[in-house]
Structure 1
Amino acid sequence: MITTSVAEAADSLKRGQVLAYPTEAVWGLGCDPYNEAAFNEILKLKQRPIEKGVILLAGHISQVEHLLARLTQEMRDTVIASWSNRSPTERATTWLLPASEDIPAWIKGNHPKVAIRVTTHPLCVALCNAFNGFIVSTSANPAGLEPARSLQEAHKYFNHHLTYLNGDLGLSQEPSRILDAETGQIIRA
Structure 2
Amino acid sequence: MKRLAPHRVIAYPTESCYGLGCNPRSRRAVLRILKLKRRPQAKGLILIASHAQQLVRYVSKPALQAALASGFWPGPVTLLLPAAKQCPIWLKGRHQKIAVRMTGHRPAARLCSRFGTALVSTSANRSGQKALKQARHVQHAFGQQVQVIRGKIGKANRPSVIRDLATGQILRH
Report runs of 4+ in structure 1 exceeding 6 Å deviation. none
Question: Of 141, 150, 157, which residue of structure 1 is paired with 2:125?
Answer: 141
CA offset at residue 170 of structure 1? 1.0
Q: What is aligned with 2:48? A: 57
Q: Distance in 2 between matches of 1:118 and 1:98?
A: 16
Q: Distance in 2 between matches of 1:22 and 1:168?
A: 6
CA offset at residue 76 of structure 1? 4.6
CA deviation map 1:83-105 (0-9, x unaligned): 13x5xxxxx10000110022111
Q: What is aligned with 2:73? A: 83
What is the TM-score when the length of structure 1 is the normalising length? 0.84
- Cα 1:141–1:113 change in 2 (3 A) is same
Q: Distance in 2 between matches of 1:102 and 1:68?
A: 9
Q: Distance in 2 between matches of 1:149 and 1:165?
A: 13
- Cα 1:157–1:64 change in 2 (3 A) is same
Q: What is aligned with 2:136? A: 152
CA offset at residue 157 of structure 1? 1.3
What is the TM-score when the length of structure 2 is the normalising length? 0.91
Q: What is aligned with 1:4? A: none
Give the number of aligned pairs: 172
Q: What is aligned with 1:125? A: 109
- Cα 1:20–1:180 change in 2 (3 A) is same
Amino acid paired to 1:181: L
Q: Percent identity?
A: 38
Q: Distance in 2 between matches of 1:75 and 1:36?
A: 26
Question: Of 62, 65, 82, which residue of structure 2 is paired with 1:70?
Answer: 62
* Residue 32 in structure 1 maps to residue 23 in structure 2: yes
| Structure showing greater relative contact order (alpha-carbon pairs closer than 8 Å, 6 or more residues apart) | 1
- Cα 1:75–1:24 change in 2 (3 A) is closer
5+ residue gaps, structure 1, are 1-6, 87-91
- Cα 1:51–1:74 change in 2 (3 A) is closer
Q: What is aligned with 1:105? A: 89
State the Cα RMSD in Å.
1.9
Q: Distance in 2 between matches of 1:43 and 1:72?
A: 26
Q: Distance in 1 between matches of 2:11 and 2:21?
A: 6
Q: Distance in 2 between matches of 1:150 and 1:32?
A: 22
Q: Is the 8 A contact 1:70 1:98 kept in 2?
A: no
Q: Distance in 1 between matches of 2:60 and 2:68?
A: 6
CA offset at residue 61 of structure 1? 2.5
Q: Distance in 2 between matches of 1:74 and 1:56?
A: 17
5+ residue gaps, structure 2, are none
